[in-house]
Each structure stands twice: as structure tokens, then as C-alpha cells.
């Protein structure tokens, strides 16, 4: 049975305070996402919970008590969890110097009038379609519906939560939000509920957390507990790209320190900043640069190393310099003490779409010669982050998005001549085997039109996207590397 939900909640100020004569209402500074328990939704459970919140003079909720129960423990517990996460503005603003109790009603209501409502925890039933591709013979599954636009994470950000669950974007709840796609039963569960557009994402599966940007504010979401909190916000800057170190200690982001100078020239200067998630300290860790800085990627195993890209203007109206940067891929130490090119670019070559190998041992990239005697040649290649031990093998991939499986022997990318998702078994610069998997024919318009291939942790699937049907959708091709 499909249930539609509306959550009603309000705050009153029967201020049961230690002592105060103020009649002003404390203002909520941060209101957490409200999670209606899934089990309560399934059983049509509704109710009202009356809470008492003990709020310190700096606006922190120190204690929560249930004054009047809803009669259902599952609703009472959800209300208490919600109440603990509320943050008020400092009470001294309204003349209160002591901690106070705030009488807070929370109402749980399921609405059944046919109106669609969306909330964290809402689950969509399976939309998957599976078939055997006639051209190359592989099992293909389309996991999402044409009713919405759906796509998974950027190729250099881990999309898999575990072997059976994937993070995806979708427009199914209005705006753009994050969802969890289950590759066993096909269900799609809502993880965020924003009216705007969830943008850049960084995911650390070992910590069970994803960081995402909405309106220049970075949220941290634990998708097991569903705790969602704002960790960074500054409306005076424009976050161009961000990453989080593998230990979860630092948010590292790039900014334009002088935006709006001109869309026809390099604006800037640009710089990389380090934000300590434990104490909010900010430090600039690169010099001021004249090229747009993007594609920040923290090492998956070493919390001290960040790679980034100097980019160029490749679409009319974009910011940055016109033409290719002399050296695109760079690294910097988290303390800003040292940094260098990941690899020098010999004459005429443009390396792009760089990414970390799963074990953090190497950087992968695609490359093409755009000038000189080798013009037109295309490669996939790899080196260590300091630029040493470089190799390349020639394949027709253009500026492809690609990934290497954790065995460091299998590489997936889309062949540029025909838009065919292809798997290579390789040994450094030697191709041992090539397998064409699926003719995806993506438009490459915006991220939802990009393939962004990802290997599942167990090598059972390659996750990819295409908009060949008109809207971006999420697919897998079954490859079973563990059986090869």
C-alpha cells in the first residue's frame, strides 16, 4: 500500500525556565531533517508527542524529556532524536542568561488525500528492467524510471556504499536529492530532502558518510544513522570543488578569491583551503594561482595527500583560461608544505579525468595528443602521485571517464568512436584482453548524460549511466570479475 506523508510540527514557548522575565521566543538556528520512522509509516501509525527541551544559554539542547507520549514508543523515540538535534540561537540575544526548558509539540501525520509528499526514508519500489544485450551478449539492467532523471556519482567519487547499495541523484522528490539504490531488490530510498539541488558530493564508505553541497553549504550525512548536519557554510565565497580526507578530519575546498572579473579571462586568484571539521579552523594550503582549480580528490588511503586539476575554459561562457593549461594534474600536502605536478605533460599532450586507484597506490587518467607529430593518438595511463613510474597504453577513448578495479588489472572506459563501454585487462602498457560491454551512446550533456563507470566492490557489476532514452538513467552491466 502506498502511503503519502505530511509532517506537521510546531514550537511553543511555555518557557519553564530557571528564572526569567523575558517573553520573547527563542529562535531556531538549525532545524534538523525530520525522519518519520519507516515502520510507523508501514503500519499507519500517527500521533502527537509533547517534548521538553532543556536549552543552554548558548542555544544547545542538553536534555530531552517526553512530557506527553503519543502512545507509540516508535514515535516518541523519533521525536526525541529530532529534539536533540535542534540548535537555537544564543538565548542572551533575547535577554536570557540561564538554561531553560522549552515546551515542544511534535506531530506525526500521514496524509492520504493522494497528494505526493517526500521525506527522508521514503522508499520507491523496484523500477528495474533486465535484458541480454543483443550486440555484445552481456546482461544489462536499467534500474531507474523514465518518469525522473537519475544518475550516480561522478566517476572519481565512490558511488558504492557496499556490494549491494549505490548512492544516486534523482529528481523524483523535487529538486535534486540523494538516494540509495539497492541492487538486490531494486528499491530506492530517499536520503536527503532539499528543495534545491544537491551538488558536489564526496563519499567515504568506511566512515558510512557522505558530504554534499547545497547552496554553498556543506552537509555531512551518516546514511546508517541518518544523522544529517551542516559542517560548513560561507555565503561570501564560491566553493568550486571539495573533498574530505580519508580520516574524515579535513574538508578541503577550492575557491575563487576574486570572482566575477570576466568570463573571457582567468579570474581569481584561485586557492585551496583546508577546513578542520573538529574545530572549524581554516588554512590556505596553496599559493594564489591564476588557473581555475577543480577536481579536488583526497587520497583514499593517505590523509596527507590531495590531488587537483588546473582547468581551462572548454565551454563558451565558462570561467577560467581559454585553451589547455600547461600542466593539468597536481598534488599538494594537507599542511601546504609541499606540492608538485603529478606528471609533466610533454609537448602536445593533454591528460585529463584523473582519479585514484582504489588502494591509493596510483593515479589513473585519460590522455590525447592535441598538437604535434602524435596529434590524434589517445591513451589510458597511470603513474604514482608524485609523477614517477608512468605508463600508458593506446586505446580510442578520447577524454573518457574511466576506472580501474581493485585488482589493478582491469580498466573500464567508454570508447570514443561509437560510445561503447569497454573493459580492458592490462599489464602496465600491454593490453591482454579487450571486451566491448554495451553501446551506451550517451550525449555527454551535463553529468546525467555521462557514463561515469564504477566497479562494484566484488567485481560483479560495472555501474554506468546514459541518457540514450532521453533522460539520464542508472544502469549496470554484469561482468563477474571474481569468476574470471
Chain mean position to CA 83: 27
Distance, in Å, from the CA atom of 25 to the CA atom of 152, rounded to the nearest integer, reads 43
268 touches 254 (CB < 8 A): no
Is 125:461 a contact under the CB 8 Å cutoff? no
> Domain 4-111 has what CATH class?
alpha beta
DSSP, collapsed to helix, strand or coil, labels residue 197 as strand
Say what the pLDDT of residue 111 is.
62
pLDDT, tens digit (0-9, with 9 covering 90-100), for 188-221: 999 998 888 999 999 999 999 999 999 889 999 9
Is the predicted pLDDT of residue 484 greater than 90, yes or no? no
Average pLDDT, the chain: 87
pLDDT digits (tens, 9 = 90+) for 133-148: 999 999 999 999 999 9
pLDDT for 323 equals 67
Element (H, E) at 78: helix 73-85
pLDDT at 27 over 90: no
- Which pTM was predicted? 0.79
Beta carbons of 414 and 449 less than 8 angstroms apart: no
Burial of 400-423, coded b for 16+ CB within 10 Å and e otherwise, reads: bbbbbbeebebbbbbbbeebbbbb
- Do the Cβ atoms of 413 and 362 come closer than 8 Å? no
Q: Strand, helix or coil at 290?
A: coil
Q: Which residue has the higher pLDDT, 184 or 346?
A: 184
Per residue in 366-397, pLDDT tens?
Answer: 999 989 999 999 999 999 999 999 999 999 99
Domain boundaries defined on the chain: 4-111, 123-483
**Residue 141 near residue 475, CB atoms below 8 Å:** yes
Quote the CA–CA distance of 228 and 225 in Å, as a whole number: 9
Would you state the cell numbers that stand for residue 51, as one nine-digit string? 517534548
Q: Are 379 and 370 contacting, i.e. CB atoms less than 8 angstroms apart?
A: no
The domain made up of 123-483 has a fold known as Methylamine Dehydrogenase; Chain H (2.130.10)
225 forms beta bridges with: none
Amino acid at each position: 500500500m502506498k502511503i503519502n506523508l505530511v509532517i506537521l510540527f510546531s514550537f511553543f514557548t511555555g518557557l519553564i525556565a530557571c528564572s526569567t522575565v523575558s517573553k520573547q521566543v527563542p529562535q531556531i538556528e538549525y532545524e534538523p531533517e525530520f525522519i518519520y520512522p519507516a515502520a510507523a509509516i508501514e503500519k499507519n501509525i500517527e500521533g502527537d508527542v509533547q517534548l521538553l527541551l532543556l536549552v543552554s544559554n548558548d542555544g544547545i539542547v542538553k536534555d530531552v524529556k517526553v512530557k506527553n507520549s503519543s502512545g507509540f514508543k516508535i514515535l516518541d523515540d523519533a521525536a526525541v532524536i529530532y529534539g536533540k538535534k535542534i540548535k537555537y540561537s544564543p538565548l542572551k540575544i533575547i535577554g536570557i542568561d540561564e538554561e531553560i526548558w522549552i515546551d515542544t509539540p511534535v506531530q506525526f501525520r500521514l496524509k492520504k488525500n493522494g497528494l505526493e509528499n517526500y521525506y527522508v526514508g521514503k522508499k520507491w519500489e523496484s523500477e528495474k528492467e533486465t535484458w541480454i544485450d543483443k550486440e555484445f551478449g552481456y546482461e544489462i539492467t536499467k534500474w531507474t524510471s523514465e518518469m525522473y532523471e537519475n544518475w550516480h556519482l561522478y566517476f572519481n567519487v565512490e558511488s558504492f556504499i557496499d556490494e549491494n547499495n549505490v548512492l544516486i541523484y534523482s529528481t523524483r522528490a523535487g529538486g535534486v536529492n540523494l538516494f540509495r539504490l539497492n541492487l538486490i531488490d531494486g528499491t530506492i530510498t530517499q536520503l536527503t530532502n532539499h528543495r534545491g539541488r544537491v551538488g558536489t558530493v564526496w563519499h567515504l564508505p568506511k566512515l558510512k558518510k557522505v558530504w554534499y553541497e547545497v547552496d554553498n553549504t556543506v552537509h555531512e550525512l551518516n546514511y546508517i544513522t541518518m544523522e544529517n548536519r551542516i559542517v560548513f557554510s560561507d555565503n561570501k565565497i564560491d566553493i568550486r570543488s571539495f573533498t574530505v580526507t580519508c580520516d574524515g578530519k579535513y574538508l578541503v575546498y577550492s575557491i575563487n578569491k576574486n570572482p566575477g572579473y570576466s568570463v573571457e579571462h582567468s579570474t581569481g586568484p584561485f586557492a585551496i583551503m583546508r577546513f578542520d571539521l573538529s574545530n572549524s579552523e581554516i588554512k590556505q594550503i596553496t599559493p594564489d594561482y591564476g588557473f581555475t582549480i577543480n577536481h579536488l580528490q583526497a587520497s583514499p588511503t593517505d590523509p596527507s595527500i590531495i590531488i587537483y586539476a588546473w582547468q581551462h575554459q572548454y565551454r563558451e561562457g565558462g570561467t577560467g583560461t581559454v585553451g589547455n593549461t600547461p600542466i593539468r594534474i597536481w598534488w599538494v600536502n594537507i599542511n601546504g608544505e609541499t606540492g608538485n605536478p603529478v606528471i609533466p605533460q610533454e609537448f602536445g599532450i593533454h591528460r585529463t579525468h584523473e582519479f585514484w586507484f582504489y588502494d591509493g597506490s596510483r593515479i589513473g587518467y585519460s590522455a590525447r595528443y592535441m598538437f604535434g607529430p602524435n596529434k590524434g593518438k589517445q591513451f589510458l595511463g597511470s603513474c604514482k602521485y608524485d609523477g614517477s613510474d608512468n605508463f600508458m597504453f593506446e586505446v580510442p577513448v578520447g577524454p573518457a571517464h574511466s576506472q580501474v578495479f581493485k585488482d589493478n588489472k582491469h580498466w573500464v572506459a567508454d570508447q570514443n568512436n561509437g560510445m561503447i563501454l569497454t573493459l580492458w585487462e592490462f599489464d602496465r602498457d600491454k593490453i591482454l584482453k579487450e571486451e566491448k560491454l554495451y553501446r551506451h551512446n550517451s550525449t555527454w550533456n551535463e553529468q546525467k548524460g555521462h557514463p561515469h563507470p564504477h566497479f562494484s566492490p566484488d567485481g560483479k557489476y560495472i555501474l554506468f549511466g546514459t541518457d540514450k532514452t532521453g533522460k539520464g538513467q542508472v544502469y549496470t552491466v554484469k561482468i563477474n570479475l571474481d569468476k574470471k
